[in-house]
Every structure is written in C-alpha cells, then in structure tokens.
Structure 1
C-alpha cells in the first residue's frame, strides 16, 4: 500500500493479544491477527490503508490516538476492559475529533453489569458488540461509510 492512501487506525486494548487463547468459550478461537487481517482486507477493498496497534498500556493507546490527529482519517478501537474504566481514553478520542467506531468481540450487555457502560461509547460514532471477530470488518465498513458521507 502506498502512503497516498487515507489511513484507518485500529487500536486494541489490554488482553486482546490473548484472543484465541483467553476464554475461547466466550471470545472464540479467532486471534487478534485474524481480526487485524480481516480489518486490513476490508480497508484495502475500500481504498484505505490500516495501521494496527495493540497495547496493554492505556498511555500507549492515548499517545497513538493523539498522533492520529494528523495522520489518519478515522479510528476503530476495541478498548477491552478500558471501555468501562477510562475517562482518559474517551477524552483522547474526543480531543482528536476523528470519527471512531468502538468494537467489542462479545455482547457486553449479556455479561456482568459493570460491562454495560462504556465511557468510549459517548465519544464514538457507532458501537459494534457481540459479532465476534467479524465485528472488526463491520467496524471498518461502518467507518468507511461515515468517511464517504463527509
């Protein structure tokens, strides 16, 4: 892919590096690499490049969001457990004013009560939850559609 392509930033938060290994009865057997490849393919099909980062550290995710302000057209983020705890991550999303799609592998509304609230959801254009790794492709499709409307 050339640098001339508009870019999408795909961020994955804590523990998502363990997809496919961690609680496969809940999260499935697909890996983070599977999710990234799916997102990459969808982005490429729509004429976008995609850069992916997974970090178990909130500050690294926030730093990358800040950098994206001038380098990316939009963000797809699976914040993992930070969705339910991080005002700072939500503030970072708001600060860059890039269209953002929040994605979760599981249906958070069928899980523990504390997972029913995400600080990021109010900062995101859309939320996709419960579609498994396929949600990453849906999130990219949604973001591409939003960007086309602008």
Structure 2
C-alpha cells in the first residue's frame, strides 16, 4: 500500500467548533476516519496530521520529500503567506510526487486576503469549496497520478 499524508494547518484541529457555517460540523476525527476509509478503497495508507505550527508542517514536507510520500495538504492560513511552506512543498514536487492542495471552503469566495495562495502555484492541483469531499477528490487524484 502506498502511504499518503494528509496535512492540515492552523485551526483545523478546531473543526466542528470553528465557524461551522463555513467549515461544517464534522470534526478532525471524522476527517481521519473518512480519509482512512477513502484511502483504503484506493489502496492507499492514509495518515492525517494537523498542526498549528508552521515549522512542524514544513518538517512534514521535508519528510515527505525524503521518504517519497505523496501529500494532500490543507495549509489553512499558511496558504496566504508562508513562503517557507511553499518552498518545502516545492521539494515534494521536485521529487516527482503529487501534492494536492485542498480547502474545505472556497477561499476565493471569502475575505480578500484569502484569494491569494502561495501554495497553488507549487501544487500539482488544487481543490476548493467541496467540504470534506475535497479530501476524497484529492486522494482519488493521488491514486490516479501515482498509477501512471
């Protein structure tokens, strides 16, 4: 089974509590279960991670590049300003690995500052506004890309 990490940035540990009208009422544990289920159906071993620490998420990108692990990433607030994370994400891409950017909401339909992503130009692809289903779409994309 191919390992895939699903990496979530700041405040996503508060899913179900934080702005449920924007992010829904499901929590991070539900996301973990769904991603594991969706991944298993695709022959993927999925590990869901979440951090509020920029250095930790950058370290996870380094680890993914070193271990040749595809990534699904919701960088959350880091999307808009973390050039360090963008550089680390580029290292994943440089290894020929898929890196799919996911957002539960549609950042383009929200606050002005959310409309710019420093990750999108680096990512293999971006999925926005589909709720947790976006993670399923991202895992499908990873499975498709690594099968080629």
Could you say which TM-score interval applies, normalised by the shorter chain?
A: over 0.9
Give the CA deviation at 1:8: 0.3
- The counterpart of 1:77, out of the listed 66, 73, 79, is 73
Measure the CA separation in 1 of the matches of 2:124 and 2:61: 16
**Residues 1:35 and 2:37 aligned together:** no
Q: Would the aligned equivalents of 1:35 and 1:134 in 2 still touch at CA under 8 Å?
A: no
1:112 is aligned to 111
Give the CA deviation at 1:70: 3.5
Q: Would the aligned equivalents of 1:13 and 1:55 in 2 still touch at CA under 8 Å?
A: yes
1:89 is aligned to 85
Measure the CA separation in 1 of the matches of 2:12 and 2:68: 22
Please state whether the residue corresponding to 1:10 is helix, strand or coil.
strand
2:21 is aligned to 25
1:6 is aligned to 2
- The counterpart of 2:61, out of the listed 45, 61, 65, is 65
- Normalization by structure 1: what TM-score? 0.92
Measure the CA separation in 2 of the matches of 1:73 and 1:83: 21
Give the CA deviation at 1:96: 2.6
Give the CA deviation at 1:11: 0.3
Measure the CA separation in 2 of the matches of 1:36 and 1:85: 26
2:131 is aligned to 132
Please state whether the residue corresponding to 1:131 is helix, strand or coil.
coil
Off by >3 Å, runs of 4+ in structure 1 = none
- Normalization by structure 2: what TM-score? 0.93
Q: Would the aligned equivalents of 1:62 and 1:92 in 2 still touch at CA under 8 Å?
A: yes
